[in-house]
Amino acid sequence: MTRFPEFRKRGNEGCVEEGSYRQSRLCRLIGNPVAFTVVQLLAENKELSPSEIARAVGRSVQRISTVLSALRLAEVVRYDTDGKHNRYRLKHPREIRSVLAALSQFVKVSGAVDR
């Protein structure tokens, strides 16, 4: 049985599996411009602190910390503690870079289509 009661199977009606639910939530998260920028930044750099990310993105440390928390829950990033400071990095860098490349290609192709 799934952990998400709102997606329990009801007879032969359609049922959203837990994996699909997680994919949907991840897509929604990466669709957030700030989260997307944070992920891109971490893909370009090995490790960054929240304050370094905030400076590069032009947002408050508090906002970046909120985004990093959501990315951590989605298992996109992980962090290491160096004394009082956290350094964030991608949890699955190769896979995330592939996703970013695919999204960039999709945007490029979809922008070239005549409407």
Q: How many domains does the chain have?
A: 1
pLDDT of the residue at 15: 56
pTM for the whole structure: 0.76
Provide the Cα torsion 102, 105, 107, 112; round to 10°. -160
Q: Is 46 within a domain? A: yes
**pLDDT (tens digit, 9 = 90+) per residue, 38-95?**
999 999 988 999 999 999 999 999 999 999 999 999 999 999 998 888 999 999 999 9
Q: Is 8 within a domain? A: no
Q: Is 110 within a domain? A: no
Q: Is 10 within a domain? A: no
pLDDT of the residue at 65: 96
First to last CA, the chain: 44
Average pLDDT over residues 94-100: 92
**Nearest-angstrom CA–CA distance, 101 and 83:** 34
pLDDT of the residue at 33: 92
pLDDT of the residue at 41: 95
Q: Is 82 within a domain? A: yes
* CA 40 from centroid of its chain's CA atoms: 10
pLDDT of the residue at 10: 47
Task: Check whether 1 has a pLDDT greater than 70.
Answer: no
Q: Is 6 within a domain? A: no
| CATH number reported for the structural domain that contains residue 74 in this entry | 1.10.10.10
Q: What are phi and psi of 69, to 5 degrees?
A: -60, -45
Residue that wins the pLDDT comparison between 19 and 103: 103
